[in-house]
Amino acid sequence: MKFLDDLSRQNLEYEMTELGEKPFRGRQLYKWMYSKGIFDLQEMTDLSKQLRQKLEQKYGFRKIEVIEKIQSKKDGSTKVLLELGDKNRIETVILRDGERLTGCVSTQVGCRMGCSFCSTAKIGLIRNLKIGEIVRQIIIMNRLLSEKNEKLSNIVFMGMGEPLDNLDNLNEAIKIILDENGLNFSHRKVTVSTCGMVNELKKMYEELDSPVNLAVSLNFTDNKIRQRYMPVSKKYPVEALISTLRNLPLQKRKRITIEYVLLKNINDSQMDAKYLAEVLRGLPVKINLIVYNDSDIGFNSAADENVLAFQKVLLDKGLSAFIRKSLGSDIEGACGQLYAKYNKKI
């Protein structure tokens, strides 16, 4: 059985011509899935009964079901655990920050990047998510929000997995998310967050027509230290990453978000802040200082006074630096933590 939601729009059209149908049948299927959120051939009523039967013999859709929802009592963010057709589980999070509702989307089951402060890294990479499995997370979040007449305003690829490690499916999913016949989000509302896969980053910008926003999880400016905590730096050193950022074809006024997770006694000193300002000099950036959610994998959040002192160094150097609220901290908001907890329970 082939899965229709594994296919890009072009491939759906091609698939229909292979069946002896007109290419517009592919566009109809695409609209049902991504404009209307319908993943059941019997409900696709503008396809003839005959065609629906023909399609059902050969094709289906990926299964993806909500297993558990946990809402934060502190800020109303919601973490959703999803089960895929092969019983693998992923998570997706609705982050609530005032009026802004951001869907935090996963791109892989697990992750092979090995960042030592991350729960998902402990799982390792199980598999890449398919195009439809990535997009469906957003459709599911919007369906849950529609009960309160709400919908997502922003999308960030910052859930389980390194998005650029699943680049082909990520790019096709982004095209569907931005397409007016798909989910119809503005490219200004979509952000890809990476730990710094330099070649893949260049490729993403080459392949996408509308450049989405970029966030880079930097966290360390000294390459030797970064290698210790973020092994991606062995292949792509800090210097190569920063030089790539300097040469990206960014649109006017677009800024790169630099994510910096403050870990107690590891990267939270004022000297670390000075090095960070030095490394980022001249780049169009804003810096998010993230207060780490204490975890059971050996790291602690930086003390409040250190976070403020760190921010002051950056502000004094003329940089934009924000302390990011730790949304969903009571529902284990760091990537992979819900999955890790769920796996411990069963």
- Show which residues are catalytic: 91, 335
Q: Is 113 in the site for ligand SF4 (CB under 6 A)?
A: yes
Q: Is 263 in the site for ligand SF4 (CB under 6 A)?
A: no
Please state, in angstroms and rounded to a whole number, the distance separating the CA atoms of residues 285 and 258.
Answer: 7
Q: 12, 55, 95, 111: which one contacts ligand SF4 (CB under 6 A)?
A: 111
Q: Is 195 in the site for ligand SF4 (CB under 6 A)?
A: yes
Report in angstroms how near the CB of residue 333 gets to ligand SF4 at its nearest: 13
Nearer to ligand SF4, 216 or 313 (CB): 216
- Please indicate if the annotation marks 193 as binding a ligand: yes
- Please indicate if the annotation marks 118 as binding a ligand: yes
**Residues 157-176, mask of contacts with ligand SF4 (x by CB under 6 A):** ---xxx--------------
Tokens of 345: 């329970």
- Please indicate if the annotation marks 88 as binding a ligand: no
Nearer to ligand SF4, 7 or 155 (CB): 155
Please state, in angstroms and rounded to a whole number, the distance separating the CA atoms of residues 331 and 346.
Answer: 18
- Please indicate if the annotation marks 161 as binding a ligand: yes
Please state, in angstroms and rounded to a whole number, the distance separating the CA atoms of residues 238 and 316.
Answer: 24
Q: For residue 285, which of 247, 258, 259 has the smallest C-alpha distance?
A: 258
- Please indicate if the annotation marks 326 as binding a ligand: no
Please state, in angstroms and rounded to a whole number, the distance separating the CA atoms of residues 125 and 185.
Answer: 29
Contact 92, 103 (CB under 8 A): yes
Counting residues that bind ligand SF4 (by CB under 6 A) gives: 12
Q: Is 272 in the site for ligand SF4 (CB under 6 A)?
A: no
Q: Is 302 in the site for ligand SF4 (CB under 6 A)?
A: no
For 262, other C-beta atoms within 10 Å of its C-beta total: 22
Q: Is 290 in the site for ligand SF4 (CB under 6 A)?
A: no
Contact 215, 156 (CB under 8 A): yes
Q: Is 196 in the site for ligand SF4 (CB under 6 A)?
A: no
Question: In terms of DSSP H, where are the helices of 69-123?
Answer: 119-123
Give the Å distances, CA to CA, from 335 to 15, 73, 248: 36, 19, 27
**Residues 115-134, mask of contacts with ligand SF4 (x by CB under 6 A):** x--x-xx-------------
Q: Is 72 in the site for ligand SF4 (CB under 6 A)?
A: no
- Please indicate if the annotation marks 104 as binding a ligand: no
Please state whether beta strands 59-60 and 2-3 pair in parallel, antiparallel, or not at all (unpaired): parallel
Nearer to ligand SF4, 177 or 335 (CB): 335
Rg from Cα positions in the chain = 21
Cα 316 to chain centroid distance, Å, stands at 32
Nearer to ligand SF4, 231 or 284 (CB): 231
Give the Å distances, CA to CA, from 38 to 86, 109, 306, 317: 21, 24, 49, 51
Tokens of 67: 């297993």
Nearer to ligand SF4, 13 or 162 (CB): 162
Residues that bind ligand SF4 (CB under 6 A): 111, 113-115, 118, 120-121, 160-162, 195, 335
Query: Which residues make up each annotated binding site?
Result: 111, 115, 118, 161-162, 193, 217-219, 293
List, as residue ranges, the binding site for S-adenosyl-L-methionine: 161-162, 193, 217-219, 293
